[in-house]
Amino acid sequence: AQKITQTQPGMFVQEKEAVTLDCTYDTSDPSYGLFWYKQPSSGEMIFLIYQGSYDQQNATEGRYSLNFQKARKSANLVISASQLGDSAMYFCAMREDLGGSQGNLIFGKGTKLSVKP
Amino acid sequence: DGGITQSPKYLFRKEGQNVTLSCEQNLNHDAMYWYRQDPGQGLRLIYYSQIVNDFQKGDIAEGYSVSREKKESFPLTVTSAQKNPTAFYLCASSRRQLDTQYFGPGTRLTVL
């Protein structure tokens, strides 16, 4: 079974609108971390935001917020006020702190976001 | 400037040749990683190193080799045993293994 699932291969959003990128995860490890990375066409992976499994509040970083619903095992990324520069691939990743992946990141297949002017 | 550098950005090699990809970081991070990305896919872990002179196989280590003789350097050799070496290779580092990973700009390898 896939540990990280991103069900939206591609998304469109109008400039200045908010968009939600979906991510669900599967783990039995009580301690884990969830990450979102942005990959522009240049290829570099840019870290956006992190949520720990024990964090009480949803993480926020500027225009990025992570909608963490632990019982549903979802960690959706919300981008507010989209900009043309937000057009990129977005990857959700999980780190299991105690389990078989030995603390290494497991990546989803990504969502391609296109921002329309 | 602190960061992770990978060279070269593009690399072309003939089938059957070994090739070494460079990864250097000046962030004083203990842990370093190599990932492979194929078109339309997420990243898959090749090798990782938590400390100098130690490294571990990731999910797809066959046909690859690494060394970690210095804290700041973690070169990856793609050997002739790797059946489908054409891919985008990304290097990352983190302060310790469970910390956030930061990535270099990547090397696109094409084997002709």
Mean pLDDT by 10 residues, chain A (117 residues): 90 97 95 96 96 95 97 97 97 87 86 97
Contact between residue A19 and residue A11 where contact means Cβ atoms under 8 Å apart: yes
- Extract the tokens encoding A11: 């998304």
Q: Is the Cβ pair B101, A105 closer than 8 Å?
A: yes
Averages of pLDDT over runs of 10 residues in chain B (112 residues) are 88 92 96 94 93 94 97 96 93 92 96 89
Residues of A in contact with B90 (CB under 8 A): 43, 45
Write the residue in A42, A45, A104 that is nearest to B58 by C-beta: A104
Best residue in A37, A104, A106, A112 for a mutation probing chain B (most B CBs within 10 Å): A104
Q: Do B101 and A107 touch (CB under 8 A)?
A: no
**pLDDT given at position B1:** 62
Which residue does chain B place closest to A42, by CA atoms?
Answer: B105
Fill in the DSSP letter of residue B100: P
Distance from CA of B79 to the nearest CA of A (A): 23
Bridge partners, residue A77, by sequence: A21, A66
**Residue B98, CA distances (Å) to A94, B9, B18, B101 in order:** 11, 28, 32, 9
Q: Rounded distance, CA A99 to CA A42, Å?
A: 33
